[in-house]
Amino acid sequence: MTVDGSTVLVTGASGMLGGAVARALVAGGAQVRTFQRRPARVDGARDVLGSVTDPVATARAVAGCDAVVHLAARVDITGPEDEFRRVNVEGTRHLLAAARAAGAGRFVHVSSPSVAHVGGSLVGAPATAAEPALARGPYARTKAAGELLALETDTAAMRVVVVRPHLVWGPGDTQLIGRVVARARAGRLPVLGSGAPLIDTTYVDNAADALVAALTAPDAACGQAYVVTNGEPRPVLELLRAICVASGAPAPRVHVPGGLARALGAGLDAVWARFPLAGEPPLTRFVAEQLSTAHWFDQRRTREALRWSPRVSLDEGFARLAAAS
């Protein structure tokens, strides 16, 4: 398919990445419809309000669409697993069925590298298979299950591409940037371990470009998952400092042993699972692993299959973050 003139549904467009995808599609000449619980207000796109957990609303949203980019998800650090499952698994199931019934020819499912992360370092890793039983935390487990559902739906009639953008950030980001800055300003942003492990991240415009590219990737690229990053792995301490400097927050200074942090995170996971405590735990095992182990990915297969490459470097991204702060 081509984007220009196509009708494309983007779910989750009220989020940073979903909004960027919708704007990129509008700029490319697509007729864009957005579907989420609150207005996305993307110029040139038409909002349809509702939830992917409602099959009737989902069918209404996707009717007449040539393609779907599915970003809507529950992305909290912790919470009841059945609530994650309702959105990330059953919501995906509803949308896949509705898209197939509507005759959509391409379905781009947005997943996460966390679906295949089981705790160890990832060094130049490929996009290995999603592991719902082994993934860390309810978000990762349910996103893994949702990804497998999407891949199982790939047919000649509706081609499916799974894209796993890794640690997406940019101006206005309330997830990675927002959490790092809030903790830094509260004096609760230690460096776990040495701060030396290399980590990949993705500037938001690059992630959006990759998702748009997945809509027009050759059929040979379909039925598979691809990790998307800037391809510029940097030490975690360097990344944290760059985020803090660009955002006007104090850089982290305190170091906590990585093993201790991972043990503490596992303990806090157990406490939050056992008792109905309000808010997020100060640390989880998954977050501790992410901040104390390497995770960067070989991008050669992704760039060749999607015919995409990043256009905004990390340094330029940090400059844009500073200008917006």
Q: Which residues are catalytic?
A: 139
Pairing of strands 234-235, 198-199: antiparallel
Structure tokens at 246: 């660009």
Reduce the DSSP state of residue 191 to 3 states and report it. strand
Task: Evaluate whether 92 touches 109 at the Cβ level (below 8 Å).
Answer: yes
- Residues linked to residue 34 through DSSP beta bridges, in sequence order: 10, 47
The Cα 275–Cα 28 span in angstroms is 49
Give the closest residue to 66 by CA, choosing from 147, 146, 149, 10. Answer: 10
Buried b / exposed e across 61-72, counting CB within 10 Å, b at 16+? Answer: bbbebbbbbbbb
Give SS3 for 78: coil
Cα 115 from Cα 137, distance rounded (Å): 10
Sign of the four-CA dihedral 216, 219, 220, 226? positive
Residue 253 backbone phi and psi in degrees, to 5: -125, -30
